[in-house]
Structure 1
Amino acid sequence: MTEKYDAFVIGTGAAGTTFAYKLNAAGWKVAIADCREYGGTCALRGCIPKKVLAGVANIVDEHNRMLGKGIDGGKIAIDWSSLIDYKRTFTEDHPGKREKGYRDVGIDTYHGIVRFADESTLIVGEKKITAKYIVITTGSKPRKLNIPGEEYLVTSEEFMERKELPKRIIFAGGGYISFEFAHIAARAGCDVKILQRGDSVLKEFDSELADMLVKASEDAGIHVIKGKELKNIEKTPDGFKVTTCCKDSGEDEVFFADMIIHGLGRVPAIEELQLDKGNVILDKGGIALNEYFQSVSNPRVYAAGDCIRPGPPLTPVVSMQADIAASNMIEGNKYTADYSVIPSTVFTIPPLAGVGITENVSSNKHKVLFNDMSQWYSSRRTNLGYAASKVVIDESNDTILGAHLLAPNAEEVINLFAMAMRYGLTATQLSSMVFAYPSIAYDINYMLK
């Protein structure tokens, strides 16, 4: 027997959930499926559990920074085993609650790998399903490196499930994953290295503030080593031998560790869908779409999230994409996404946040305001040591084109800059706002001078 639906959603993360509920609310007969636990990457294997770990790392670091400045006793470190137990209280019940939420509103749920049989037919396990529309929100996975010993790499997901951490950890790659988890591991007492192939790290962010974060990382005991491309990994009696190729000299250099974390990028998780049978073509490894999030080759298919290429791979962005795409499915293709003002943060200590253009793409028509905030009250209050801001302003009309922060609570303050940019507030208007004092938001008045 073939089940029939108005829409079948593949993936139960932020994007898939947005699709399912919005289409269901419009009166459509909807089903959703996942080959893993319900909930997706962010809730189970990404943002949410990571921020739990990062929060404890920050508490530990604040304690140690304030020793002799109001805090008595010795240095402390993360109790990793109990932290992982605490982290699981945020994730263990989530799949059941997510599935129950679907069922409570009449969305049918399926478990298993989904494959295309033809343009409108899917196979889930032994069940055949036809749908007027098929929605793909399968997310991403760590990319294959095709190097000897790749099987020894540990993903960030596996890292967050370990009940114990080894002494020596290498993070391969200089992006979000490596820096965030390196800061956590360092506060757990690990000997941490980050190996970056190129000369710069965290390329999505302002390069000067990223370099300041590298210094803060080094002070925290994290060794950031640039120009080292991963070549192969060998298992040894004492752990792992990591061979890298030096970018400048071409000579190999060897490092030793007990664990190597994969932080070298992610790719769309679409291999098992058999997209060719559904006439769904790809573009640069992601599902090829028009501006309405509709497949360019199969009009029955819409997609959003990390399995497509437009837009940064951030949870609020994929939810926005899904909301727009669902509206297009319901009303006809009318709506497109605006990615011009998307704030993002790397949750290190201190956090690094940014929105809009960076100084390196500014012109002589732009004014760049840089402030070293390390001696400002908001930073000195907790003996932070590293803090700075950079704001790019269009001198012709006083609008804010970019804002970048390395500072306590940067993840919150960047949202105020993003809101000002989105709704056209000038720098003068934003700085005239009376913020609560003393607060990091109040510092905006000084960042714009």
Structure 2
Amino acid sequence: MKDTKHYDVFVIGTGVAGQTAAELCAKQNMKVAIADNREFGGTCALRGCDSKKILMQFTELLRQTTLLKGHGISKLPKIKWKQVQKFKSSFTKVIPENTEEKFSKLGIAYYHQSPVFQNENEIVVEGKHVTADKFIIATGMVPLELPIDGNTYLEVSDDILNFKKIPKTATFIGSGYVGMEFACMMATMGCKVTMIERGSRSLTAFDPFLVDTLVDYLKTIGVTFIYNAEVTSVEKLKKNIRVNYTLKGKDKSIKSRKAFNAAGRVPSIDLLDLEKANVKFDERGVTVNDHLQSVSNPNIYACGDVSSKSLPLTPLSGLQGYVAGNNIIKEGSKTFDVPCIPSTVFTNPKLSSVGYSEEEAEKRYKNIRVYKGEVSHWYNAKKENNPIYAYKILVNERTDEIIGAHLLSSQANETINILSMAISQKMTVSEFKKQMFTYPSYSSDLKSMMKDED
């Protein structure tokens, strides 16, 4: 007879979503366990947003001083990448142990392996049979595996975050936000970067006007873009990686020291055997209702990036973990409503967006007003000697409410939050213009952006 452990709640995944849900349940004196097949702490803290931003601040410093060279800066700083990595590691190396300690203090049992479902309420993890009344799947996303010969020679974002030095040349397959961010970072450090994109443009989730402006700038710092191309295979040479692709019916190739799979991320569910647990899923992840409950197995919830109702944004993962945890404590007590969520591509300059795109707004509203401009001649950009500063703000013509905002600037990741609040509060343009902001600041520019042509 097999020895089986039982928990009230078993959480799979130790990122923001999983930790949030597990902690809520543990504090209600539930018997909780959690598991992860990688170091505890999740993608964002260990190999995503946080790590990326630590590294990028150094390239942002280099770019800022490059822009001001000859205007008071006589010598550019030298970035010692090994020391940068050491600084980054001072943040990440403590997270797994601290996370385990947190679980121990909360009385949460933990396992270092990905569980495999045996049926609707049983898993095997670390060779042990475990049952639970409720399961929470919070396994996040993993890089999409490209179905081409030689795909094992491609590296991913994890590898970039652990670079000991920046390569002289690099090729990215895909030009979504992950690829664009790292391409910008590496190009700023002197790497010659090529982006191979199967579509007709980069960053399809962001405003085309601003994306085109950003792409044009990246070209000036050493990034080459190849669109409408299909990668066919990857080869390992003596020192380089060769990426073969087709463009306009012709076979082509490019050699570089490193090549990266930046073609996107997919829900991390392959190891779970969800079919055995009667859990429906598709390319978006585990199919859930508005309570983040599986539509096919009511004892299983999914939250964070692996949920069909999520977006790959850390604040949203935390919110979903909160909703899922509370619904286990009291079924049906919380509904997940997608809030007004700002998002940023941390290139330099940064590209930020909140609310509706112009295309979405035109479908939703009878008439919209579009404020749009390239304003590198404005003071805040000129004082940085920055050649890039642009915006697009969308307004419902009938109500004068701000319904969408898109910014491209060195401070876009911060100023977008002000417009996010404005949209959440259904502010009109006239109400927004009554607000007082510090001057001179990028925030104060927002009012000037919503100015009708004379």
Into which bin does the TM-score normalised by the smaller protein fall?
Answer: over 0.9
Aligned twin of 2:15: 13
Distance 1:96 1:262 in 2: 30
Distance 1:230 1:240 in 2: 13
Contact between 1:370 and 1:389, CA under 8 Å: does it hold in 2? yes
Match of 2:382 among 360, 376, 380: 380
Contact between 1:78 and 1:187, CA under 8 Å: does it hold in 2? no
Distance 2:349 2:322 in 1: 33
Aligned-residue sequence identity (percent) comes to 38
TM-score after normalising by structure 2: 0.95
Aligned twin of 1:230: 231
Aligned twin of 2:407: 405
Distance 1:97 1:26 in 2: 22
Query: 1:211-260: CA deviations, max 9, x gaps?
Result: 000011112211122222211111122312111111xx211221111111
Aligned twin of 1:150: 151
Distance 2:78 2:190 in 1: 6
How far is 1:285 from its partner? 5.5
Contact between 2:116 and 2:273, CA under 8 Å: does it hold in 1? yes
Distance 1:90 1:230 in 2: 36
In structure 2, give the amino acid aligned to 1:387. Answer: Y
Contact between 2:394 and 2:402, CA under 8 Å: does it hold in 1? yes
Contact between 1:77 and 1:188, CA under 8 Å: does it hold in 2? no
Aligned twin of 1:256: 255
Aligned twin of 2:63: 61
Distance 2:447 2:370 in 1: 15
Contact between 1:10 and 1:33, CA under 8 Å: does it hold in 2? yes
User: Residues 348 and 65 from structure 1, CA distance in 2 versus in 1: closer, same or farther, beyond 3 angstroms?
Assistant: same
In structure 1, give the amino acid aligned to 2:418. Answer: L
How far is 1:60 from its partner? 0.7
SS at structure 1 position matched to 2:430? helix
Distance 2:9 2:385 in 1: 54
Contact between 1:64 and 1:76, CA under 8 Å: does it hold in 2? no
In structure 2, give the amino acid aligned to 1:44. Answer: L
In structure 2, give the amino acid aligned to 1:330. Answer: I
Aligned twin of 1:35: 37
TM-score after normalising by structure 1: 0.96
Distance 2:166 2:417 in 1: 34
Contact between 2:266 and 2:283, CA under 8 Å: does it hold in 1? no
SS at structure 2 position matched to 1:296? coil
What does residue range 297-376 of structure 1 map to in structure 2 within 5 Å? 297-339=296-338, 341-363=340-362, 365-376=367-378
Distance 2:288 2:101 in 1: 32
Query: 1:257-311: CA deviations, max 9, x gaps?
Result: 1111111011111111121221212133521212211111111100012222223
Contact between 2:21 and 2:326, CA under 8 Å: does it hold in 1? no
Gaps of 5+ in 1: none
Query: 1:163-207: CA deviations, max 9, x gaps?
Result: 123211011111011110011111222111111111111011100
How far is 1:77 from its partner? 5.0
Query: 1:359-411: CA deviations, max 9, x gaps?
Result: 23333600000122211111111111101111000011111110000012101
- Equivalent pairs, count: 446
Distance 2:341 2:204 in 1: 15
Aligned twin of 2:274: 275
Q: CA RMSD in A?
A: 1.4
How far is 1:335 from its partner? 2.9
How far is 1:333 from its partner? 1.4
How far is 1:336 from its partner? 2.6
Distance 1:439 1:100 in 2: 42
Distance 1:443 1:120 in 2: 55
Aligned twin of 2:126: 125
Moved more, 376-385 or 24-33: 24-33
Aligned twin of 2:173: 172
Distance 1:35 1:239 in 2: 32
What does residue range 140-219 of structure 1 map to in structure 2 within 5 Å? 140-219=141-220
Aligned twin of 2:432: 430
SS at structure 2 position matched to 1:293? coil
SS at structure 1 position matched to 2:111? strand
Runs of 4+ in 1 over 6 A off after TM superposition: none
Distance 1:132 1:103 in 2: 21
Gaps of 5+ in 2: none
How far is 1:53 from its partner? 1.1
What does residue range 84-99 of structure 1 map to in structure 2 within 5 Å? 84-99=85-100
In structure 2, give the amino acid aligned to 1:128. Answer: H
Distance 2:91 2:51 in 1: 7
SS at structure 1 position matched to 2:206? coil
